[in-house]
Structure 1
Amino acid sequence: MSVSSVRQILIVLCLTVFLMQASLAGENGKLPGAGLIHQLKFGVLAHDVGDLWSGFHRENGVDLNIEVVLAPSMDVLGGTLRPALGGSINTNGDTSKGYLDILWQYNFSSGIFVVTGVGAAVHDGKLHASHVDRKALGSRVLFHIPLEIGYFLTPRTTFSVYFDHISNAYTARENEGMDTLGARLGYIF
């Protein structure tokens, strides 16, 4: 899967989600609170950050991230579980990824929130150590583990610091893993 293919998939995904949400609009043109999408998040992330979970870095560039948090939810342990899908496109032509997660969010009364989850990611990076400037991820499908800490700027707008890690958890011989870290803005429908 090439970077171009991942970009095309993400563009189609975004347009599809937008059209689905727009089709759920009421007669007054406002988006309903019980629509398909709970929140959209957009971010700029540092790619393959060293000295975090994966321990070192080989790849460069900035990742442009988009995530759609879907409306179906379930209350668990004082927080809320929701499905999400998203992707990060690397602006340097290195590893890009798409992912599907189950997220758990806890909102504090102060306006601060925390999100964590687990899911699967598909990437277009290298599987084996054939390039010194690319990570050997070992498997096309990887575990995706996000962590986010943020603040409600308004009841519908959020700002957050976002971290995610992808790896195969040693289900393959090579497992260099990759971390991203950055900031995101979110809009709640």
Structure 2
Amino acid sequence: MTFLLMTASYSTYTYLPQLPAAAAVPLGSGLFIAVFGLAGTAGTWWGGSAADRRGPGRVVGPALVVSAVAFAVLPHATAVVAVVTVAAWGVAVWGFVPAQQHRLIGLGTAAPPLLLALHSGAVHLGSAAGSLLGGLVVDTAGAARLWTVAVVCCGAAWAVHTVLVRTVLVGKEKGS
């Protein structure tokens, strides 16, 4: 899930300056990058706190949905709506990270440092894959089509999330 969500995120983030809304505001893409960074900071705090209070599954699912909606809206948004959308995306994507870390540690199948290292690797591989995939989309179809790749990646992450939730719930009902 982490790899897929980061692929989605970086396929768009890397090419944010090429989206029409970024060019429509006086500060251009700098404003969007600043909003994304501040929202990501808030999202990290929110995701960790919410995962501690309500469990990671209650953060991961909504984060995937909010991200997918943000990616679908972003290329079609006015400048003001785009700023709000980028903020929602930043909170969702970076809120996902500590919740997913919480989930991995809770599985207890390996040493927490190993699980967190693998998770970090998925973040970085996703950022590389997303940048590559986004570049291919920009070169072949234009920046306005980035949303399709991002939404497909979020959908795939949602499918994995759904399978994991069902597997864990069925396992708990059977006593394992």
The alignment's TM-score, normalised by the length of structure 1, stands at 0.29
Which has the larger share of helix? 2
- Higher RCO, 1 or 2 (CA under 8 Å, sep at least 6)? 2
Q: TM-score, normalising length from structure 2?
A: 0.31
